[in-house]
Structure 1
Amino acid sequence: MGIITISFILLSLLAIGSGIMMISSKNPVNSILWLVVVFFAISGHYILLNAQFLAIVNIIVYAGAIMVLFLFVVMLMNLNAESEPAKNKRLQFIGIISGGSLLLVLLSALMTAKNAQPVMVAGGNAGLIKTLGKVLFTDYVLPFEISSVLFLSAMVGAVVIGKKD
Structure 2
Amino acid sequence: MNGEFVAFFILSLLTIGGAVFMISFTRVVHMVISLGITFISIAGLFVLLGAEFVGVSQILVYSGAISILMLFGIMLTKHDANDEGTGATWKNRFALIFVAALFGLLFWGIQNTPWALPEPMTASSESNAKEIGLRVFTEYVIPFELVSVLLLVALVGAIIMAKKEGDSE
Distance 1:89 1:25 in 2: 15
**What does the per-residue CA deviation read over 1:7-42, in whole Å, with 9 as the maximum and x for residues that have no partner?**
334434544555566566665434432432332222
Contact 1:49–1:122, Cα closer than 8 Å, also in 2: no
Deviation, 1:136, is 0.5
Task: Look up the match of 1:51.
Answer: 51
Distance 1:23 1:109 in 2: 25
After superposition, the Cα gap between the structure-2 partners of 1:128 and 1:141, relative to the gap in structure 1 and judged at 3 Å, is same
The size of the alignment, in residue pairs, is 164
**Which consecutive unaligned segments of at least 5 residues does structure 1 have?**
none
What TM-score comes out, normalization by structure 1 length? Answer: 0.71
Deviation, 1:144, is 0.9
Q: Which amino acid aligns with 1:144?
A: F
Higher RCO, 1 or 2 (CA under 8 Å, sep at least 6)?
1
What TM-score comes out, normalization by structure 2 length? Answer: 0.70
Q: Which amino acid aligns with 2:54?
A: L
Fraction of identical pairs, as percent: 34
Deviation, 1:52, is 1.5
**Which consecutive unaligned segments of at least 5 residues does structure 2 have?**
none
After superposition, the Cα gap between the structure-2 partners of 1:80 and 1:99, relative to the gap in structure 1 and judged at 3 Å, is farther
Structural mapping, 1:6-155, within 5 Å = 6-16=6-16, 18=18, 28-75=28-75, 76=77, 78-81=79-82, 84=84, 86-89=86-89, 91-92=91-92, 95-96=95-96, 99-100=99-100, 102-103=102-103, 106-107=106-107, 109-111=109-111, 113-118=113-118, 123-124=123-124, 128-155=128-155
Provide the alpha-carbon RMSD of the alignment: 3.6
Q: Which amino acid aligns with 1:50?
A: G
Distance 1:122 1:48 in 2: 15
**What does the per-residue CA deviation read over 1:79-98, in whole Å, with 9 as the maximum and x for residues that have no partner?**
433x6255235643663465
